[in-house]
Structure formats: structure tokens, C-alpha cells
Amino acid sequence: MGNTLYLVVISLIFSSLFVWAIKKRVIKFLYFVAGVKSILCGTLVWITVLILSTEMAFEQETVVISVSVIVMITSYASFIKNWKISSMALSLWMTGSSAFLIKVMFSDIAVGVLLVGFSLFDIYDVFKGPLKHLSQSTHGRAVAPLLLKVGSIEVGLGDVLFYSLSVGLAYSSGGLLIAALALISLKIGIWITLKLLEKHRMLPGLPIPVLLSVFVTSLSLLLAQVFYLSL
């Protein structure tokens, strides 16, 4: 709970600073976000390889660092030039690998609390917080680099991260079958949210899909444990 509260506060502070920077035009937000995303993409390549590799020679680490730098440069050009296919692929890589690292660093219970906590925070952020004020301002389109556009629907990169994390939690705690159930419930939650969007201009993307996924995961694990104990 402490980790969740800490991360929520950090997210609130940074989102408030982003809103202030955009409205005051302190920085060119597109270039700033593209730079942050490209650095993150390259760093995630390096960290992920280090985690998955038990041992690595100096020459191999040099190659990995070189590849990471190439990924950074390519990512920056892709985000700035708005190359749609590569930008989408890099954004998905960034969110998916970030979810993987979070799952590696935290226990299943901590990840579950994190998912619930950020789902509740998302409700506040969309209806009362910085995201609401930004969407209602004339600078609302400035957040486009933080969105993933699928057809006519715009989804926040943070939403995609937590979608990935919820399925990762299910797989880590219950295996492939539980992960499949979590994925199905996540898709049902996304469908419900999309149907609600037909009557509302903007809705938080986390609460219904993520909370439903966490609920199905928890219930499935409980039933599996009861069934196992009854044998």
C-alpha cells in the first residue's frame, strides 16, 4: 500500500507539472515527451536483457549498450516524425516491458494493490484531476504523444501498461489458464468501457477492465485453492 501511495503521488505531481508546462508553454511538449520515451525504450532494452541473462561478458554488454543507443535514436526519430507503425510498436514495447519490470520488482500482492490503487486514482484524475483540466483546455491535443490511437479510440499509454500488468499478475500467480481468464475479463471490461464511451466524451480506461481482471484472477485462485484442498 505504501508503494502504491508513493507511485500515485509521484504520478499526480508529474501530471500536474505536465499540465502547467503545456499551458505556460515552458517547453515544447512533443520534443520533451519524445525524448523521455526514446530514452525509456533504449534503457528498457538494456535492463530487460540484463535481467534475462544470468551472465554476460564485457563484449556482449557492449553490444547490448550499443543496441540500446540505436533504439533510443531510432525511437526519437520515429516519435518526432510520427511514423505510425514504428511509433505504435515502440510504445507497445515500452509499456509491455515496463509492466514486466514492475512485476519482477514487486510481489503478486503488491502488484494487485498497485492495480486497484491506480484504477481508483484514474477515476479521480479523469473526472477531477489534472487530466480533466487538460482535456478541457485548448492545449488538450498536446498530450497526443502520451496516447495510443486505435482507430477512432485514444488510449493512454499508462492504461496499456496496467492492462499488461493485470494479465502478467494472473500468469505469475496462477499460470496460463488464470491468465487466459484474466485476459478475457480484461477484454470484456474494455468492451463495456467502449460502450459507455458512446454516451460520454471521456472515461477512465482502468477501473472497469483492470478491476474486473483482478477480481476474476482473485476469484479463480480462491476457487482453485478450495478445489485442490477438497481432493
pLDDT of residue 137: 54
pLDDT of residue 133: 66
pLDDT of residue 138: 47
C-alpha dist (Å) from residue 30 to 19, 35, 57:
13, 8, 38
Q: Which of 104, 2, 90 is nearest to 52 (CA)?
A: 104
- Per-domain boundaries in the chain: 2-230
pLDDT of residue 187: 94
For the chain, which ranges sit under pLDDT 70? 21-27, 29, 54, 133-145, 228-231
| Crossing angle (nearest 10°) for helices 29-52 and 84-105 | 50
pLDDT of residue 218: 93
pTM of the model: 0.82
